[in-house]
C-alpha cells in the first residue's frame, strides 16, 4: 500500500490539485476564446497545436520570458505581491470545491463563508494592484474594480447562501452531497438565484457587460496597465483559474456537482457541467456591450439585490427546496 501522506501529496500536486487545475484553466481559456470567435464569425486561435489548443500555454510561456518592468513610482512590494495573490486565491478557493468525488480536497463546515471571503479578497487585491502601480489608468481601473465590488458582492453572497439554507449546511461538499442524495439540482428550485449568481460571476470575472475595470477602449488596459512579463503571466493565469472557479461553483451550487462518488464518472460529470457553465458565461459575454460604472452599480442596487432578497424570502416560505 502507498502511505497516506504520499497519496495526499499527489492529490494536492497532481490530481485534482495544482497540475490538473492549471491545465483545466488553460483549456477553458481556449474554450472561451474559441467560442467567442465562433460567435463573432471568426476562427479564433488555429495554428498553435491542434485547432489552437495550446494558444493559452504559448501566451503564458512568452509572457514568462519577457522583460519585467516595474515603474519607478510604483509601490514595489505591493506591485510584486499582487499578481501572486491573484493566482493563489482562486487556486486555494478551488481546493474547497469537489472535483473528483463528493468531497473536496479541503472541506469543513463553513467553507462556503471562507470562499465568499476569498472572492472579496480577489476583488480587493485587484484594487491594490491598480493602486500600487501609480499610473492614472491603473488607478482609475482599480477604483472602478472596488466600486464594482460594491455592486455585485451583496447579491452574490445572498444567492450563494440560498443553496446552503435549503441543504441546511454551510459546506460546499455537503451541499453537493445533498443534491446527489435527493437527486435534485438547485437550479430547478432557485432559478432566480441561479440567474443572479451567473450575472454576479460575470462581474467578478470582469467579463464583457461588466469589464468596466479593464475597459480597453477607455482606460488603456485598466488596473493591469503597468504589468508586464512574468507578473502579467501570473495575472492572466489567475484570471483563467478564476474562470474555472466560477464554472465549478455554478456546477456545485446549482447543477448538482460531480454527481457520483465513482472517481471516473464524477470527473466526467464535473468536466461536462463546468464546460457547459463556461459556454454559458462566454455566450453572455458575446451578447452584451459594456455598461457604464454608474449604470452597473445603480442596476445592481435597484434590481439585482431586491431580486436576491425575493429569492431568500421564497426559500424561507418553502419554495426553494
Partner 1 sequence: MGLLKWGRTKSPWIIHFNTGGCNACDIEVVAALMPRYDIERFGIIIRGSPRHADVLVVTGPVTRQVKDRLVRIYEQVPEPKSVIAVGSCAISGAPFADCYNVYGGIDTVIPVDVYVPGCPPKPEAIINGIVKLIEKLKAG
Size of the site for partner 1 (CB under 8 A): 37
Check binding of 10 to partner 1 (CB under 8 A): no
Burial of 294 (0-12, 13-18, 19+ CB in 10 A): exposed
Nearest to 237 by CA among 90, 47, 112: 90
C-alpha span between 122 and 254 (Å, rounded): 22
Indicate which single residue of 69, 106, 287, 310 sits in contact with partner 1 (rule: CB under 8 A): 69
Q: Give 119 or 207: the residue with its C-beta nearer to partner 1.
A: 207
C-alpha span between 272 and 266 (Å, rounded): 10
Q: Give 58 or 121: the residue with its C-beta nearer to partner 1.
A: 58
Check binding of 75 to partner 1 (CB under 8 A): no
Pick out residues in 115-144 that bind partner 1 (CB under 8 A): 137
C-alpha cell, 304 = 439585482
Q: Give 204 or 226: the residue with its C-beta nearer to partner 1.
A: 226
Tell me: cis bond preceding 189? Omega within 30 of 0 counts.
no
Check binding of 216 to partner 1 (CB under 8 A): yes
Using the contact rule CB under 8 A, the part of the chain among 39-47, 169-177, 183-191, 245-253 near partner 1 is 39-47
Indicate which single residue of 12, 54, 265, 271 sits in contact with partner 1 (rule: CB under 8 A): 54
C-alpha span between 218 and 141 (Å, rounded): 10
Using the contact rule CB under 8 A, the part of the chain among 84-92, 152-160, 185-193, 227-235 near partner 1 is 227-235
Indicate which single residue of 14, 23, 42, 306 sits in contact with partner 1 (rule: CB under 8 A): 42
Check binding of 313 to partner 1 (CB under 8 A): no
25-30, Cβ contacts within 8 angstroms, sequence gap of 24 or more: 25/56, 25/237, 25/240, 25/241, 25/243, 25/244, 26/56, 26/57, 26/60, 26/240, 27/53, 28/240, 28/243, 28/244, 28/247, 28/274, 28/275, 28/278, 29/56, 29/240, 29/243, 30/55, 30/56
Check binding of 303 to partner 1 (CB under 8 A): no
Using the contact rule CB under 8 A, the part of the chain among 165-173, 182-190, 220-228, 282-290 near partner 1 is 220-228
Pick out residues in 163-202 that bind partner 1 (CB under 8 A): none
Nearest to 284 by CA among 203, 212, 226: 203
- Alpha helices (runs of H) in 190-262, residue ranges in sequence order: 191-204, 229-254
Q: Give 49 or 268: the residue with its C-beta nearer to partner 1.
A: 49
Check binding of 52 to partner 1 (CB under 8 A): yes
Nearest to 202 by CA among 284, 116, 125: 284
Check binding of 227 to partner 1 (CB under 8 A): yes
Check binding of 65 to partner 1 (CB under 8 A): yes
Using the contact rule CB under 8 A, the part of the chain among 3-11, 17-25, 52-60, 193-201 near partner 1 is 52-60
Positions that interact with partner 1 (CB under 8 A): 33, 37, 40-48, 52, 54-55, 58-62, 64-69, 137, 216-217, 220-221, 224-229, 232
Amino acid at each position: 500500500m502507498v502511505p497516506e501522506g504520499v497519496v495526499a501529496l499527489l492529490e494536492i500536486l497532481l490530481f485534482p490539485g495544482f497540475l490538473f487545475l492549471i491545465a483545466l484553466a488553460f483549456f477553458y481559456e481556449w474554450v472561451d476564446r474559441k467560442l467567442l470567435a465562433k460567435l463573432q464569425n471568426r476562427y479564433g486561435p488555429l495554428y498553435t497545436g491542434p485547432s489552437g489548443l495550446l494558444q493559452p500555454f504559448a501566451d503564458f510561456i512568452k509572457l514568462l520570458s519577457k522583460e519585467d518592468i516595474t515603474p519607478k513610482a510604483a509601490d514595489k512590494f505591493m506591485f510584486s505581491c499582487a499578481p501572486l495573490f491573484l493566482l493563489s486565491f482562486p487556486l486555494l478557493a478551488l481546493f474547497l470545491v469537489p472535483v473528483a468525488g463528493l468531497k473536496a480536497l479541503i472541506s469543513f463546515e463553513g467553507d462556503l463563508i471562507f470562499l465568499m471571503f476569498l472572492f472579496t479578497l480577489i476583488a480587493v487585491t485587484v484594487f491594490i494592484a491598480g493602486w500600487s502601480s501609480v499610473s492614472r489608468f491603473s488607478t482609475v481601473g482599480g477604483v472602478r474594480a472596488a466600486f464594482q465590488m460594491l455592486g455585485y458582492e451583496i447579491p452574490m453572497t445572498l444567492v450563494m447562501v440560498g443553496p446552503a439554507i435549503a441543504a441546511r449546511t454551510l459546506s460546499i461538499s455537503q451541499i453537493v452531497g445533498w443534491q446527489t442524495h435527493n437527486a435534485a439540482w438547485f437550479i430547478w428550485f432557485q432559478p432566480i438565484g441561479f440567474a443572479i449568481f451567473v450575472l454576479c460571476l460575470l462581474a467578478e470575472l470582469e467579463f464583457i457587460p461588466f469589464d468596466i475595470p479593464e475597459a480597453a477602449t477607455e482606460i488603456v488596459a485598466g488596473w493591469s496597465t503597468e504589468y508586464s512579463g512574468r507578473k502579467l503571466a501570473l495575472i492572466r493565469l489567475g484570471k483563467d483559474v478564476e474562470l474555472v472557479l466560477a464554472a465549478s461553483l455554478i456546477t456545485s451550487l446549482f447543477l448538482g456537482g460531480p454527481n457520483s462518488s465513482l472517481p471516473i464518472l464524477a470527473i466526467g460529470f464535473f468536466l461536462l457541467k463546468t464546460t457547459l457553465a463556461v459556454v454559458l458565461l462566454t455566450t453572455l459575454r458575446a451578447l452584451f456591450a459594456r455598461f457604464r460604472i454608474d449604470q452597473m452599480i445603480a442596476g445592481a442596487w435597484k434590481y439585482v439585490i431586491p431580486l436576491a432578497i425575493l429569492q431568500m424570502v421564497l426559500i424561507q416560505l418553502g419554495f426553494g427546496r
